[in-house]
Amino acid sequence: MKTLRAPTAIVTFLTVLLLTFAGTGCQLVTGAPTSSTPASPAALSQTSGDFADAIRQVAETVKPAVVQITGEQVQVDLFNRPFTVPAGVGSGVIYDRQGYILTNNHVVEGAKQWLISLPDGRSFAGQLVGADPQTDLAVMQISGRDLPVARLGDSSKMQVGDWVVAIGNALALPGGPTVTKGVVSALGRTVQEPSGPTGTPGPFLFDLIQTDAPINPGNSGGPLVNLQGEVIGLNTLVAGQSERGVQAIGIGFAISIATAKPIADQLVTSGRAIHPYLGINYVPLTPAIAAQLGIPSREGALVTGVLASSPAAEAGLRTRDVITQIDSTTLRGESALAEVINTHKPGDT
């Protein structure tokens, strides 16, 4: 890791893309040992020529395992009697025989209890196993017999142009999950989530799958599926209006299963996920900042603060340092440092 000393610190942020969750704020549209049956479809052929039949098979295979998650808040009336009100609606997918459900953290946060509804009409009280705001992932669990289970695939095998199917409870419409189709538009995207209710910037999400499959409010936490009927991502974000008069269309993002499954395993095992970190606050170094500070480098991360007793403090990093490279990777772009750190494990040097 190479550093340069800088005389002053300037904080500059550029907003590139406005993003919205695909699940929060959705309004309801009115109208003993656990055993389960895995959803194991017959092999689907992407070259069979019957594309519509392939999509239909995917829907029939995976949709039974896609649940609606209704968060509920407990309030009290004038007579101090408790009652519940919906806090938001999202989606999730049953991925394990023990009733574990993979979903987004922003689907479950802010609620005190959850109602899990299956397409077959059954409903269960959901238990929050664990949540990880940094990756926007959460695991819930229900207890029931003959639960449908979706198969998890290998997202690393996906290629740009591959057909995918998005399944989720769009707009909480009655009658079960909505099925849409599209293609993988890009791989390995890094996107920052929207700010929370307090205005705190959202976390950066890495290794996202970009798709043009329509994703709507209520879809968050629902699966993105390949034509083999395997879950390869969790639908999480859609791009909104990035500048006045310009509307982004057909740009949605899913957290890859390659990212989600290891986090889910940690949540199931210990209820929390452990991430590598340096312990610094920083801003990306731009040519304008570099020129004003008289720094020869034009790219990197400008350190604006160091947490006491953090790995960065122990390594001797100080405010106004400029990190230009980690390992053999030159830092370019707003999220470059976070991306590199994300590839490491706690304890790496």
Catalytic machinery residues: 106, 136, 220
**What are the CA-CA distances from residue 342 to residues 66, 253, 276, 314, 327 (Å)?**
29, 18, 7, 20, 13
Helices then strands, counting H and E runs in the chain, come out as 6, 21
Look-up: residue for tokens 């802010």?
A: 110
Sign, CA torsion 15/204/26/176? positive
Residue 52, C-beta contacts closer than 8 angstroms, at least 6 positions apart? none
Tokens of 109: 């946060």
Distance between CA atoms of residues 349 and 340, nearest Å? 13
> Residue 10 is which amino acid?
I
Sequence-distant contacts of 314-319: CB under 8 A, at least 24 apart: 315/1, 317/3, 317/278, 317/280, 319/9
What sections of the chain are H helices per DSSP? Answer: 51-62, 105-108, 257-270, 287-293, 311-314, 336-342
CB-CB contact of 189 with 209 (8 Å) = yes
Distance between CA atoms of residues 221 and 212, nearest Å? 17
Tokens of 279: 């312990």
Tokens of 89: 């609606």
